[in-house]
Structure 1
Amino acid sequence: MLTVDFERLGVQPGDKLLDIGAGRGRHAFEAARLGAQVVAADLDHADLVATQDTVAAMVLEDEPLPEAWGFMAAQTNALALPFPDDSLDRVIASEIMEHIPDDAGAMAELFRVVRPGGTVAVTVPRWLPEKVCWWLSEEYHAQIGGHIRIYSESELHAKMLTAGFETFDSHHAHGLHSPYWWLKCAVGVKNEQAWPVRQYHRLLVWDIMKHPWPTRAAEAVLTPFIGKSYVAYFFKPDDTDDVEAIASTTAGEDPVHKGATTAESADRGSSLEGAGRRR
C-alpha cells in the first residue's frame, strides 16, 4: 500500500533516494523496483531487519529489478542524517513529522541533504480524520512515540517553505482507512479482536491484495473527503542562496495551492556521494 505517488515525485533509475521513517519498507521496495539506489532509514531496528529480509527474498526469487537499483538499511535519526550536503535526488518522509518534537529541525535536515532541484514527498495524517481519532481516544495520541501534533495542510507547507523548499504538488490518500482507525479508537486502539475492527481489517486486506472494483470505487469517492493521509511534494530551488527572498515573494499566498495543478486542488562523507541528475 503506497501513499506517495512515485511519478509525481519524479523517481528515475539510478536516483539516490532516502526513505526516512521507512518502517517495513513499503515505499523503499517500490523505489528499488523502479531502479533507484535506496536507503531505508528508521529508528526501529526490528523494522529494518524485516525490510532487509524482504529485499533478500526479492533477490532470491529473481524478481525483475532494473540494473541501476541498489538497497541498504540504516538505523538513523531524522535530525542527524548521515549524508553529505546536496547528495540525494529524492527523499520520502512518510508519516513521521507528527512524531518528531523538533519537526522544523527535521525539515531543515531534509533540505540540507537533498540536492538543488531534488524532490521531497512528505505525508502526514490529514487534519479532519486525525482530529476525530484524537477526540475518540486519548490512548491514540498519548502513547510514547505517538502523534504529538495535528497538521493543517497550510501549516505543513508553511513549515517546509520556512526550511527553504518550494511546493509543486499535493493530494490525499487512503479514504478507506479513516473509518478503520475511527473504529479502533472507539473500541480501544490495541483491541484487535473487536468484531468491527476484525471485519474492517479483512476488507482492507482484500482491497490491498485483490483491488476489487467495489473497494476501489469507494476509495475514489471517500479519499477527497476523508482520506487518512495528506501528501505534499516539494523541491529544493536551484538558487538556495536567497531563501529569504523566496519566502518574501510568496508571503500571503496559500502554499497548499501554490505551484502545479493537483488531483485535489555512518559518517556523513561515507554515504551516497554526488548530486545525481537534475530534476
Structure 2
Amino acid sequence: MKVLVVAQGKGGVGKTASAAHIAFYAREAGLRVLVIDLDTGDLTRTLAEYQIDGVASSLFTQAGVSCLAAKQEDGSGCLALVPADNLLANLVFLPLEQAQQQFEQSLGRLAAEYDLCVIDTAPGLGIAKAAALHVADAVISPVEMEAYSIEGIKQTMITVLNARQKNPKLSFLGILPSRVDTRSPRQMANLNQVREAHSALMAPLVIGLRSSVAEALAHGMPVWKLRKTSARAAGAEMRALGSYVLSKVGVAQ
C-alpha cells in the first residue's frame, strides 16, 4: 500500500478537495483506496457514505485497528473512509515517537487490504501530521495564490525536509497551485512569482477556483460526475491531478 499525504500549513487552500478527488480517481482506476481524515472533518462529511468501522484517533492507540473492511466494492475498485473524530485533539498529549510508532503499526495492519492510502491533514504542524509524514511515500502541498498562503511554502518545505530525516523514502510531489482565480490579476501575478521562485518544486498542474468543485463535494461525488457544463473544466483538472499522483506514487492505473 502506497501512502499519500496532502499537507499545507494554511487552511482553506483546497486540501480536502484535492484529497477527495485523488481518492475518487484512484477508485475509478480500479484501486482499493483507504482515506484517513486527520483534519477537522470536512472530508469525513464529503465521503460519509464510504465510512467504515473505527475512527482516526484509534490509529494512534496501542490497540489500533486490526481490520477495516472496505465498502462500496465493485468493478471500479473500492473506497473506505476512516473518519475524523473529536479525540484527535487529544494527540497533543501523546509523545511524538509513540504516535509515530502506533500510526505506523496501524497502517501496517491495513497494508494488505488496500493499494493506496490518502491522508488529509490539518493546517499547521501537529502530532497527527508528523506521524503521517513519518510513514508516507509521498506528500503534495496545495497552495492558494494569496500572500498568506504563499508565505507558508517555506515552512512546508522545512516540515518535509525534517520528515525525510527519519523517512528518506518520502517524495515531494510538488507545490500545487489551488483555488486559482484566473480572472484575478493579483493571483495570476502571484502564480508567476511562485513559479519563478520555486520552479523545481512546482507540480505541473493548476487547480482553478470553481464553484462546481464545492457543489460536487457537497453531494459526495467527484466534480466530473456533476451534470453541468461548468463542471467540465474542473473535472479535467481534477482527473489530471489524480493521474499525476498515481503515476508518481507508482500504483497502476
Give the TM bin, normalised by the shorter chain.
Answer: 0.3 to 0.5
- Larger RCO: 1 or 2 (CA < 8 Å, sep 6+): 2
Instruction: Output the TM-score relative to the length of structure 2.
Output: 0.41
Larger Rg: 1
So what's the TM-score if we normalise by structure 1?
Answer: 0.38
Larger % of helix: which? 2
